[in-house]
């Protein structure tokens, strides 16, 4: 894109008037999200009078806040981040098959009749983002830390992508066991189990917990045995270099942060929202 084209795109992006359509991303916290910087240039490139904004939703007022957002006439959709990917489901009119399998959603849209539909793109986004970097998951043995909304999406997606084995750990063992049972039932060719966070026997490590976001956070689990041949992914968006990523890279591991997932899912989410154009 030329300098003049970039300037024109940015000029169109900042024009907001009474006809502007809105999208939001909701979460708690919200300062870490990067998707407005991905989608707003896309809106501008498509010539749409549309903007995406971050909205900090407090847990104690979640239902009333989200229902209020849904009642805004010019808000056409929302993305959902931690900790609300499962909690938002009861507020929706319909949940599409992938989201139903995962048990969480990360994107919801208003239909022409005013109803709301949800789907899940986190896991598919990660798989696509890695594929675009020539990394495939066929045959991999994956250690997944975290069985919440993001972890559930990742577990289903990597099993769908052909992983040979998947071990799931969560501080709540019941959550890990429930997710392992769902993934094993849906993908019997993948050896799925709940277990301790061990490096041995795995060639890929994925952190799908929020540990690493807050100053002073350490690792999401013990990393004894981590070696340079391990592929490491931390789906946290901010900071861009978490303690896990810094440690993995210091050992020579190929390691990716949350942007690989964000970029991978952007095209599919845009299609879900009916948005064209690339920045």
* 3-class SS of residue 253: coil
DSSP 81-109: -TT-TTTTGGG-SEE-HHHHHHT--SEEE
C-alpha to C-alpha distances, 169 to 115, 157, 181, 238, 264, nearest whole angstrom: 36, 16, 13, 22, 24
CA angle 129, 202, 217 (to 5 degrees): 70
Which uninterrupted H or E stretch holds 159?
Answer: helix 149-160
Question: What secondary structure letter does DSSP report for 203?
Answer: S
278 catalytic? Reply is: no
Spot the catalytic one: 85, 101, 185, 278: 85
Measured distance between the N- and C-terminal CA atoms of the chain, rounded to whole angstroms: 8
Catalytic residue numbers read 85
């Amino acid at each position: 894109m030329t300098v003049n084209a970039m300037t024109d795109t940015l000029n169109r992006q900042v024009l907001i008037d009474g006809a502007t359509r809105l999208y939001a991303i909701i979460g708690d916290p919200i300062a870490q999200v990067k998707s407005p910087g991905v989608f707003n240039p896309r809106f501008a490139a498509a010539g749409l009078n549309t903007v995406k904004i971050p909205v900090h939703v407090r847990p104690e007022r979640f239902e009333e806040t989200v229902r209020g957002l849904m009642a805004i006439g010019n808000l056409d959709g929302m993305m959902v981040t931690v900790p609300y990917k499962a909690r938002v489901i009861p507020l929706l009119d319909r949940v599409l098959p992938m989201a139903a399998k995962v048990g969480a959603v990360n994107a919801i849209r208003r239909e022409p009749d005013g109803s709301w539909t949800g789907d899940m793109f986190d896991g598919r986004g990660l798989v696509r983002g890695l594929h675009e970097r020539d990394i495939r998951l066929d045959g991999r043995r994956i250690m997944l830390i975290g069985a919440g909304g993001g972890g559930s999406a990742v577990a289903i997606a990597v099993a769908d992508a052909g992983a040979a084995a998947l071990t799931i750990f969560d501080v709540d063992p019941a959550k890990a066991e429930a997710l392992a049972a769902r993934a094993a039932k849906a993908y019997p060719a993948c050896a799925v189990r709940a277990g301790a966070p061990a490096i041995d026997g795995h060639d890929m490590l994925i952190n799908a917990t929020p540990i690493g976001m807050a100053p002073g956070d350490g690792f999401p689990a013990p990393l004894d045995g981590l070696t340079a041949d391990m592929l490491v992914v931390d789906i946290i968006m901010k900071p861009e270099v978490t303690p896990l990523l810094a440690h993995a890279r210091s050992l020579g591991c190929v390691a990716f942060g949350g942007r690989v997932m964000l970029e991978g899912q952007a095209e599919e989410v845009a299609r879900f929202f009916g948005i064209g154009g690339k920045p």
